[in-house]
A = this chain, B = another copy of it.
Amino acid sequence: MARRDKSDARAQPSCVDCTARTFAAYGAVAFRESQGIQRLRREVRRVKAKRIIHREREALDAFYTLFDGWAFRFRLLDDGRRQILSFLLPGSPIGLPLRGSPRAHFSVQALTDVTLCVFDRAELADYLGSVSKGWSSLEACYVRLYEANDERLIDLGRRSARERIASFILELRGRLLGQGKIVNETIYFPLKRQHIADALGLTPVHVGRVLGQLVADKIIELGRDSLTVLDHRALEDLAR
């Protein structure tokens, strides 16, 4: 059996170290369970930024979780319009760990360099069914996805560009907060204008305008691959 160096995730990521331990995020799966899960892991894959991880309509027997890096789910319309359905951060599951192997109706692309953990759907589903609180943990996972989706619907349906962007920043901040990845309100922010636009139903040009305003209003600060929240209150007022 190969030796594993816990401190070097790049060599062989450990589920125990996983930033947000996908199924443990809500305390439902105990620490020791993550070692059980690790035994089920088939493979660790590394994918370069901008590479496609999964293409729409292709079979998806595997269940992936994101160990490190950012990715996003999206769909393309015939004429090239792109809708980003959600961003995947470290710890996020990609798709659902179901017994069946449905052809996902969305594609997934790496946004930064990415490390994935690969599981067999059926095997993982069986395991979660056998572990105490395994299903509750899964359920929590479903509920969270469900709620996030509804939240995004409100953004796109009933909020202005400025409000959407405020809400979006707060959402990202919240997700990163749970991972201890925020220092002085500064978060890692690898998104381009085009990504934000395609997620929020806007154009990159207009996203640029609005971000510019938020910076001018001293509500946020933008750096190279980073974003700092200067006026948290103002953002919350915008996002309501």
User: Taking beta carbons and an 8 Å cutoff, which residues of A are in contact with B?
Assistant: 75, 77-79, 81-83, 85, 96, 98-100, 102, 105-106, 129, 135-136, 139-140, 142-143, 145-147, 149-150, 152-154, 156-159, 198-201, 240
Contacts and interface: CB of A to CB of B under 8 A. Distances in A.
Given A82-B158, A98-B142, A149-B149, 6 more contacts: A85-B154, A96-B142, A99-B139, A146-B146, A146-B149, A153-B156
B240 A150 contact: no
B149 A153 contact: yes
Contacts of A199: 157
Contact of A136 (B100, B139, B158): B100
A134 to B, nearest CB: 11
A96 B146 contact: yes
Contacts of A99: 135-136, 139
Contact of A201 (B100, B136, B149, B156): B156
A88 to B, nearest CB: 14
A111 to B, nearest CB: 18
A142 B135 CA distance: 14
A77 B158 contact: yes
A240 B100 CA distance: 28
Contacts of A98: 139, 142-143
A83 B158 contact: yes
Nearest to A139: B98
Contacts of A77: 154, 158-159, 240
Q: Which 4 A-B pairs have the closest CB atoms?
A: A157-B201, A156-B156, A149-B149, A83-B154
A178 B170 CA distance: 40
Contacts of A149: 146, 149-150, 153
A142 B99 CA distance: 12
B200 A102 contact: no
Contact of A240 (B78, B135, B157, B200): B78
A75 B157 CA distance: 11
A78 B198 CA distance: 26
Interface centre among A83, A105, A147 (most CB of B within 10 A): A83
12 contacts: A85-B154, A96-B142, A98-B142, A99-B135, A99-B139, A129-B135, A135-B135, A146-B149, A149-B149, A149-B150, A152-B153, A157-B201
